[in-house]
A and B are shown apart, each in its own frame.
Chain A
Amino acid sequence: MRLDLAGKSFAGRSILGPLRLSVERGQRLAILGPSGVGKSTLLRILTGLDRDFQGRLDGGERLAAVFQEPTLLPWRRAVANVTLPTGCDDATARVLMAEVGLAGHEDKFPRQLSLAQQRRLSLARAFAASPDILLMDEPFASLDPDTAGRMIDLTAMLLDRSGAGLVLVTHDAAEPSRLGAVPVRLSGNPAILQTDEASQPPA
């Protein structure tokens, strides 16, 4: 997946400046930056949800996303929330749910799960799609440190096993290293990518 962005603006106001970014299977990239800088906008462009920008997005990889909110279908049971969007079979969904610690909750509706459980379900759904690249938008925000930590370890384990690439958007500088992701910083107005000297991002 390769993005060659010339610029992105909302209602005449420039949000993102020129930037280049590419990710493939096995590569992990974390986009850091203060809130409101345009991280989520950049991620929406990468997911293909926002096509209104100047530049080019190439790719044909299978994508999956973990959003800021769990974004589950409240009217479908937990296991159907994994199978329906991804097209994976029931058995695979149950195995993944067990791996994220949701064994026994398969037939519950999302509102019967806690927020942390809903987030883990949303993680299971993302991996059920067997993506080439996983896109995550602040997936650990608003979780208590313990739960967030467990969720990060779980994500790292699933990434290791599936070999999927990762684009993580976060404001927490500690998360990238725990996931083995190369951090890049989005800042400025309009925002562009700044490289930390310590680690070279994949160009």
Chain B
Amino acid sequence: MSDATPQKRPGLVPGILSVLMLLALWMAVAGLADDPRTMPSPLAVAARIVDLAVTGELWLHAGATLLRVLASFAIAMALGIALGLWMGRSQRADHWLNPALVIALNIPTLVVIVLAYIWIGLNEVAAVTAVALNKIPLVTVMLREGGRALRPDLDDMARVFGMGWWSRLRHVVLPQLAPHIAAAARAGISLIWKIVLVVEFLGRSNGVGFKIHLLFSSFDVAGVLAWALAFVAVMLLIDIAILRPWEAGANRWRRDEA
């Protein structure tokens, strides 16, 4: 969140430079190792990415992964916000649900995935459910803090004027939760796509995780890196093109316009 930093912006230079330095380091290590099979050079990986993009394979599998990411993200955010808001506003709900929340936070990701596949079946519902279940407790914890900090005076105002529940949620509650939702979303989307890969690795027949599974069996390091980097680029794009502008819009009222 950039509430208090309207100073000069650093621009793109440091970001691009640091990426270039990482690439140079990678080049150097690949040159020293001199073993293209286990440590391929950035150029070899870039060639693989271009290859995947040209054959269309990239869009097919990255698309499948992206759909799973979006579906589980939407479910996890919706349920996590509802649960967190409830626990933040009602002490009773907090007392009763907190132990379950602590347990849920500490169940290993892998256990949830394996159980979901066993209980629900090797299908899409199980995959999305497993990812969402892994993420819901984290969203809940972050939103509970927001729910506790809601302003009681605005609540009173809304009640006196008889605002409907939907209007109250939209204009009174959600704007106060926006910073917490944004933080949960940014933290969530990167966590979720990593879990989606595990889910695909273990039990799906398409998606980036599935491709990595195949490449792992043939120890194709260049292929693994190509898929991973291509998808990192997609997720960065989502962060820059969707999440950041939304956050900036939601925080517009904090800045002086005149």
Given known pairs A49-B156, A67-B156, A69-B153, the reply for A112 and B256 (CB within 8 Å) is yes
Binary A-proximity of B131-162 (CB < 8 A = 1, otherwise 0): 00000000000000000000001101111110
User: CA of A86 to CA of B105 in the docked complex: distance in angstroms?
Assistant: 42
> Which residues of B217-258 are within 8 A (CB) of A?
250, 253-254, 256-258
Tell yes or no: B92 within 8 A of A by CB. no
Tell yes or no: B36 within 8 A of A by CB. no
Residues on the A chain within 8 Å of B154, using CB: 71, 73
Tell yes or no: B53 within 8 A of A by CB. no
A74 touching B171, Cβ below 8 Å: no
Residues on the B chain within 8 Å of A65, using CB: 157, 160-161
Residues on the A chain within 8 Å of B2, using CB: none
A109 touching B253, Cβ below 8 Å: yes
Binary B-proximity of A9-53 (CB < 8 A = 1, otherwise 0): 000000000000000000000000000000000000001110000
Tell yes or no: B101 within 8 A of A by CB. no
**Interface of chain B, main secondary structure:** helix
Tell yes or no: B106 within 8 A of A by CB. no
B157, B158, B167: which has the most chain A beta carbons within 10 Å? B157
Binary B-proximity of A60-79 (CB < 8 A = 1, otherwise 0): 00011101010101111000
Residue tally, chain A, CB below 8 Å to B: 24
Tell yes or no: B175 within 8 A of A by CB. yes
Q: Give the residue of A67, A75, A86 whose beta carbon is less than 8 angstroms from that of B153.
A: A67
Q: Give the residue of B161, B250, B254 whose beta carbon is less than 8 angstroms from that of A85.
A: B161
User: CA of A201 to CA of B163 in the docked complex: distance in angstroms?
Assistant: 33
B156 touching A84, Cβ below 8 Å: no
Which of chain B's residues has its CB closest to A128's CB?
B161
User: CA of A85 to CA of B254 in the docked complex: distance in angstroms?
Assistant: 21
B153 touching A73, Cβ below 8 Å: no
Given known pairs A67-B153, A69-B153, the reply for A108 and B258 (CB within 8 Å) is yes
Tell yes or no: A111 within 8 A of B by CB. yes
A71 touching B175, Cβ below 8 Å: no
Distance from B177 Cβ to chain A, minimum over Cβ atoms (Å)? 11
Tell yes or no: B172 within 8 A of A by CB. yes
User: CA of A49 to CA of B156 in the docked complex: distance in angstroms?
Assistant: 7
4 more contacts with CB within 8 A, not counting A67-B153, A85-B157, A85-B161, are A67-B157, A86-B161, A109-B253, A135-B160
